[in-house]
């Protein structure tokens, strides 16, 4: 990959809310750097980053895209990431492969839900951060208010390195307040002298010698300030705030200057922490990886796609060592060696084959099926393991089935390929409802997945809301006896059982106890009683849903020397249990989830009221900046279409996450419709 060293590399992910201008800004950077010969457009479908057909049609980034350019001798690897929470997996993967996050905020819309999420993730990862305000030529812009909002939401360390000359239709350029000339142009918004003083104070605070000189009133040389600024940005002590306009490229050159000159190289990330592996066991002690070409090879996969022409492509970031030629590397997850064939450098949809890569490089390899996102790839003789990338749990589910009967086997294989590409997409077979269920971050996310299933693999599916997996249980003790006696022309059937049942604590499952003494039921028939009980609780009685949290005691019975059999005792046990169950005040249980809703403050009342109307219970509230977080527990039945309603109530500015909590009793007035629906479905099957 050639003519540069690790110290010259800059790995940068552009993150922020959808429609904030990330892709257009990257197009401007690539064009300024000469990496492209024309300025691509999202609206026209000519962006080198948004090259997928779905992205062109929807005019939004769906998958992360890897690009690169060279600026003043610095090799910059750029990752364009999706801006909407529906496709957050691509952004999270990208942030695990870089040293710097460029957080993009549109001047026209300000900080939005996903802007805050991306900032938090980048902060948690310890990344250097740069804030870029785009669309400075838009209408109704208040730059000082927006800067206040950024500092309020993200912290006082966010300091302007650029100030705009005018904004809106009057936006003419930017002033670099660190490298300012003596003469300040007319129309600058903000006090250049005051902002430069704050910036210098922040810069020298990370360099003890310069801080002492500054406090003594001595002049600090510009070259010294520039060096300390790099240290301050790398440590997060300063987050420079820049601004630009994408259409004419005003301010873009200054942004790429900051990335090239002041953001950290992979070399400056002194160590990458990971665990060592010996004999297949992961050591609890963390091992420090030396970022150098002489160290053993190590890398981590952050993205995977299936290209219709090249096959499976795995994207990984190299942390140490050199990858050259066609070596064997070790996959810590699969615990096997893989032979590297073709190795590429990626530029949007284009792949340039290379022979050598060094620490800090972002590399793509092809046609190795058993490599997944988060996998650690390393030298077989120096095995290490990086922590798995943490992705959020998907929340929105659909039950699907292929429209064509012959596609049942094919759909499983193709869905697994899509799962390998997207760590926020899951596929499962619900053992209770027998449905094939796909789960993603949102309905939009699933819509894109199913569209790709059709366009790539020619599989068309029908989708519907999954059935809610209810369960049945009892609330009090009961007992019953049943005698199964049947006489036909030949051998008859006889078996009699006496049962006691009682409820267990939630989550107690099923417990069976035999208290038979004196041979009231011969020992060979007692297992048949348990088998009959288990078959009955699996099918359910009220609504064809499994019965849980019940203890059954077999305490008496009778038998016949000739007519008794295992089948007779199975039937007797089942009938006796049904009688006791109906006397034990049975109830239906429904799954309850914990939900966390993030919204702008003005929607707080609407959201809490809506959750209450859905049988939700607000458990707590929190806030950061202008956003509020509402935590509640709510029945799963009540949030089937919550995503759509939340977007409607908040104008698309709200988001939520959820996870399963527990099962709780369904209110009695809601039980009859559930039972009626169950009967209808049973009749259809019959």
At 531, phi and psi to the nearest 5? -65, -40
What's the pLDDT tens digit per position in 403-449? 887 777 789 889 988 999 999 999 998 888 889 999 998 889 999 99
From residue 24, alpha-carbon distances to 118, 193, 245 in Å are 18, 32, 10
**Residues contacting residue 365 through CB under 8 Å, at least 6 positions apart:** 313, 314, 316, 340, 341, 342, 343, 344, 371
**Superfamily per CATH, domain 399-464:** Elongation Factor G (Translational Gtpase), domain 3 (3.30.70.870)
At 519, phi and psi to the nearest 5? 75, 25
- Distance separating alpha carbons of residues 595 and 613, to the nearest angstrom: 15
What's the pLDDT tens digit per position in 298-317? 999 999 998 777 788 999 99
What pLDDT score was predicted for residue 161? 97
CATH classification of 271-335+342-385, choosing from 3.40.50.150, 3.40.50.1370, 2.40.30.10, 2.40.50.140?
2.40.30.10
Task: Report the DSSP beta bridge partners of residue 255.
Answer: none
Q: Look at residue 281 and tell me whether its pLDDT is greater than 70.
A: no
Is the four-CA dihedral 367, 369, 373, 379 of positive or negative sign? negative
Q: Look at residue 192 and tell me whether its pLDDT is greater than 60.
A: yes
Work out the average pLDDT over 602-614.
Answer: 94
What's the pLDDT tens digit per position in 552-576? 999 999 999 989 999 999 999 999 9
User: What is the percent of the chain where pLDDT is above 70?
Assistant: 96
Work out the average pLDDT over 575-598.
Answer: 95
User: In CATH, what number does 6-191+237-268 get?
Assistant: 3.40.50.300
Give the length of the chain. 686
What's the pLDDT tens digit per position in 352-405? 999 999 999 999 999 888 999 999 999 999 999 999 999 988 878 999 999 887
What pLDDT score was predicted for residue 346? 96
pLDDT band at 158 (very low <50, low <70, confident <90, very high): very high
CB 628 within 8 A of CB 621: yes
Q: Look at residue 660 and tell me whether its pLDDT is greater than 90.
A: no
CATH class for domain 472-585? alpha beta
Is 368 buried (19+), middle (13-18) or exposed (0-12) by CB count in 10 A? Answer: middle
Q: Under the phi-then-psi rule, with left for phi > 0, alpha for psi from -120 to 50, and beta for the rest, what region is 23?
A: alpha
Place of tokens 């693999």: 457
What pLDDT score was predicted for residue 677? 87
Among the listed residues 503, 482, 502, the one whose alpha carbon sits nearest the alpha carbon of residue 571 = 482
CB 601 within 8 A of CB 498: no
What's the pLDDT tens digit per position in 16-64? 999 999 999 999 999 999 999 999 999 999 999 999 989 999 999 999 9
Looking from the CA of 382 toward its CB, the CA atoms found within 13 Å total 15
What pLDDT score was predicted for residue 74? 97
- Distance separating alpha carbons of residues 569 and 527, to the nearest angstrom: 9
What pLDDT score was predicted for residue 1? 46
What pLDDT score was predicted for residue 280? 61
CB 344 within 8 A of CB 305: no
Work out the average pLDDT over 645-673.
Answer: 89
- Distance separating alpha carbons of residues 134 and 311, to the nearest angstrom: 37
* Same fold for the pair 271-335+342-385 and 472-585: no
Among the listed residues 503, 543, 585, the one whose alpha carbon sits nearest the alpha carbon of residue 671 = 543
Domain locations along the chain: 6-191+237-268, 271-335+342-385, 399-464, 472-585, 589-670
CB 196 within 8 A of CB 182: no
Average pLDDT score, the chain: 91
Work out the average pLDDT over 527-555.
Answer: 95
Give the CATH fold of the 589-670 domain.
Alpha-Beta Plaits (3.30.70)
């Amino acid at each position: 990959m050639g003519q540069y060293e690790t110290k010259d590399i800059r790995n940068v992910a552009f993150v922020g809310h959808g429609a904030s201008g990330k892709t257009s800004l990257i197009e401007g950077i690539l064009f300024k750097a000469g990496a492209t010969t024309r300025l691509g457009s999202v609206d026209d479908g000519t962006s080198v980053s948004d090259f997928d057909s779905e992205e062109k049609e929807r005019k939004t980034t769906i998958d992360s895209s890897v690009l690169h350019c060279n600026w003043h001798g610095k090799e910059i690897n750029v990752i364009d990431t999706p801006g909407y929470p529906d496709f957050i997996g691509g952004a999270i993967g990208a942030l695990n492969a870089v040293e710097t996050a460029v957080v993009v905020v549109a001047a026209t819309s300000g900080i939005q839900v996903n802007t805050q999420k991306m900032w938090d993730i980048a902060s948690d990862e310890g990344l250097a951060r740069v804030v870029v305000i785009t669309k400075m030529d838009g209408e109704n812009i208040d730059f000082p208010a927006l800067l206040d909002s950024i500092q309020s939401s993200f912290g006082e360390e966010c300091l302007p390195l650029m100030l705009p000359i005018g904004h809106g239709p009057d936006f003419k350029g930017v002033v670099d307040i660190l490298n300012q000339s003596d003469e300040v142009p007319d129309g600058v918004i903000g006090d250049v002298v005051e902002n430069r003083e704050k910036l210098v104070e922040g810069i020298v605070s990370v360099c003890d010698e310069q801080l002492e000189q500054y406090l003594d009133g001595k002049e600090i040389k510009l070259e010294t300030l520039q060096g300390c600024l790099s240290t301050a940005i790398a440590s997060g002590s300063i987050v420079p705030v820049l601004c630009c306009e994408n259409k004419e490229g005003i301010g873009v050159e200054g942004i790429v200057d900051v990335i090239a000159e002041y953001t950290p190289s992979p070399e400056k990330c002194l160590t990458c922490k990971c665990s060592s592996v010996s004999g297949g066991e992961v050591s609890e002690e963390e091992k420090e990886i030396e970022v150098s070409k002489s160290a053993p090879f190590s890398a981590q996969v952050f993205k995977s796609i299936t290209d219709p022409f090249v096959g499976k492509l795995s994207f990984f970031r190299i942390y140490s060592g050199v990858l050259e030629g066609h070596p064997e590397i070790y996959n810590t997850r699969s615990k096997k060696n893989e032979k590297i064939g073709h190795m590429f450098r990626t530029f949007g949809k284009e792949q340039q084959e290379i022979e050598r890569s060094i620490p800090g490089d972002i590399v793509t390899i092809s046609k190795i099926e058993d490599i997944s996102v988060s996998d650690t790839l390393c030298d077989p003789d120096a095995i290490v393991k990086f922590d798995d990338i943490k992705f959020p749990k998907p929340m929105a589910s659909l039950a699907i089935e292929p429209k064509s009967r012959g596609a049942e086997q094919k759909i499983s294989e193709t869905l697994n390929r899509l799962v390998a590409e997207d760590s926020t997409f899951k596929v499962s077979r619900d053992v209770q409802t027998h449905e094939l269920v796909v789960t993603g971050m949102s309905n939009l996310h699933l819509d894109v997945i199913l569209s790709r299933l059709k366009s790539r693999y020619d599989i068309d599916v029908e989708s519907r809301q999954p059935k809610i997996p209810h369960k049945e249980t009892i609330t009090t003790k009961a007992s019953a006896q049943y005698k199964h006696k049947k006489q036909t022309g030949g051998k008859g059937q006889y078996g009699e059982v006496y049962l006691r049942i009682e409820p267990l604590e939630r989550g107690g499952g099923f417990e069976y106890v035999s208290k038979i003494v004196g041979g009231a039921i011969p020992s060979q028939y007692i297992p048949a009683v348990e088998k009959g009980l288990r078959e009955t609780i699996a099918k359910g009685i009220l609504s064809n849903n499994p019965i849980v949290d019940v203890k059954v005691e077999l305490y008496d019975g009778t038998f016949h020397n000739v007519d008794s059999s295992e089948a007779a005792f199975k039937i007797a046990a089942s009938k006796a249990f049904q009688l006791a169950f109906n006397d034990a005040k049975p109830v239906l249980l429904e799954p309850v989830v914990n939900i966390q809703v993030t919204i702008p403050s003005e929607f707080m009342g609407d959201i809490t009221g809506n959750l209450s109307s859905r049988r939700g219970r607000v458990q707590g509230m929190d806030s950061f900046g202008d956003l509020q977080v509402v935590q509640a527990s709510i029945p799963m039945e009540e949030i089937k279409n919550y995503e759509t309603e939340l977007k409607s109530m908040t104008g698309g500015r709200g988001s939520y996450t959820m996870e399963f909590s527990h099962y709780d009793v369904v209110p009695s007035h809601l039980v009859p419709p559930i039972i009626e629906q169950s009967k209808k479905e049973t009749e259809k099957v019959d």
